[in-house]
Structure 1
Amino acid sequence: MLMSKTGCGANVRGRAVGAKPAASGLARGGRAGRVPSQGSQAGKLLRLGQKRCAKVRAAETNQEAGSADNSWEDWSPEGQDEEGAIFNVSLPKPIGVSIGRGNDGRCYVSRVDASRGSIDPRIQPGDKLLRVSQSFGEETWEALNYGQVAYAIRTRNGDVYFQLQSRGGDMSIFEKKKVDSTAAQFQAERAGGNYGIGTKELQQRNYIAKMEEARKRRELFDDGLEKFKSKDFENAILDWENVLGLEPDNYMGDNFSKVSQIYQVAAYNIACAYAKLGQTDPGLEALDQALNSGFSDYDKCRQDKNLAAIRQAAPEQFKEIMDRYDEPIINMDAINAVKNFFTSPFK
């Protein structure tokens, strides 16, 4: 395990969908001044409209008060709302669906690749993840935290259950948010070759925002280290998975690396934590992810006592992963080829 030296919800777009049906229900209730009976169809419409109006009023009150209660957003019946249908899938592992962290902090499908594992034709990149199966049993978690979702997928014993919301292939949730509404004006200023106070201000804001994001990632990474040291391996994994989820888009390091060092080390540390928990398959998956991202301390992988449980439980799988990224210490294929070359065919 290494210490690096380097360092809800959807937008409020609700419509007062209950206001007009409520008024219409009153108008068609029968004769003037007549209130529909409780059991009639018009009465049901009236009550539905009243409930929806109450939800709208509560939502507006919550917005004005800065409330984080978004339960009112679930208006539409039978799995339908403004963003699309809600559907359930169960995928046998390995799965070919990758989950990413959107710019609102929630989890979304970032990639669908049948060559990597099982998929479902209904799943599209950009779909929102609502619930995910827990590691064991039939219980599910609400997909609010990227780290918890990644942990649940890796450690799932059996098929992985997802509840998803279709977004029609819209990937804008992964786009970086604009710093402020005047960004377009500053962009035009730069395009015209006029470097003014607006451009300078935007650059300063972008730099500050970037440094703040880096500080948050470093704090999460260090929190994970403290939890690992205190043997709280599961929560250490959650912190480090969130570090992975906060990897900046289009990263380019000073050495032209496309993956940050803190990502590489966090991925390696996740493998160590899984090894400490005795979870071999998730540990091997995390180790493969670390090496694929550019972690290249191969000697440490082969000798680190924190990975000892994985090396002992699955020596062949461990060797296969290591040989994929590093030249084998002893290339048995080459030795056998030379041996066969000098062996007489008549023996």
Structure 2
Amino acid sequence: MGEAAGRLAGNRVAAEGRRGRGATANPDGRFEATRREAFDDGWHLDEVARRRTEVTVERARTLITRNSSPDISFDRSINPYRGCEHGCIYCFARPNHAYAGLSPGLDFETKLFAKAEAGALLERELSAPGYRPRTIALGTATDPYQPIEREHRLTRAVLEVLARFRHPVGLVTKSNLILRDRDLLAEMAAQKLVKVAISVTTLDPVLARRMEPRAPHPLKRIEAIEGLASVGVPVMAIVAPIIPSLNDHEIEAILERVRAAGAREANYVLLRLPHELDDLVGDWFAEHYPGRRAHVFSLLRGARGGKAYDAAFGTRMIGQGPYADLIRRRFTLAKRRLGFDEEPLRQTTELFCPPPRVGEQLALF
């Protein structure tokens, strides 16, 4: 089964108990003082309990997260939810669940947190004296349009505040639920305040269901690009992550489909395996594609300086070495052939205008 499969053997969950989920196991987070393992004591239940989604309301004190990373285009972001029901096995945000004392495995996709009063929190932060606007990235860690958004509507509340303040935003999602908010997004696009990035990892529905079990079908994501582009919302397609020997052969086909649907920009990320993700993805391969695991991880380590993950700025997203260079050249040539924009579209900050608070007198001049 492989090294990763061996390490997670005591934390693996029976298939009946994780139907419709991405992770195969539920290992303890790296900060836990104890380690738990399942043990067969001979008592077999007739029915294995399936894991259901649990949502905890989180009373956050702030909503905007700041960063100073030199290799990403934004210095502030908002994630209305922690954890993600889409269950993408490759999600680089899985290890963050360890900070809540939970597992990056099945806990990440079943034990979710919703940041209550997100709109009010954001309004307070944007109204603070001395606040200077720059594009806010919405959904950088977990999907802002994951299934629980239908009920909680936190992303909609955030967008309503941003529209009212005329604040620029960039959204990242793999869900066609974003079309629900076309009215707001079209209005903001007309003012050059928004850009949307849609993640299309594969066009193969079988592979998508295994990798991203509760994310929308690939064709639904193509439809989301078409629907947004049709009302003037600029769309960037992201092929993320590119996984050697699994979806890398689809690069050109994906770019052709998203370009035809109206995407103006395109980008990609090579699979990243920080912390527990190395073992989780390895165990997933052991179950679904056991014959490919060694080859895939060999290519990934070759692109990461011989390590499972290299966090160095500048190369952590795309890797380096022969395989990474080949992917970069293929992506660049395909973009040029298909006529994608060379320069990224920037949102304006010049329209930012905090609305007056209740009881606040308007200036005469």
Instruction: Tell me the TM-score normalised to structure 1 length.
Output: 0.23
Q: Which has the larger radius of gyration?
A: 1
Compute the TM-score of the two structures, normalised by the length of structure 2: 0.22
Q: Which structure would you say has the larger RCO, counting Cα contacts within 8 Å and 6 or more residues apart? A: 2
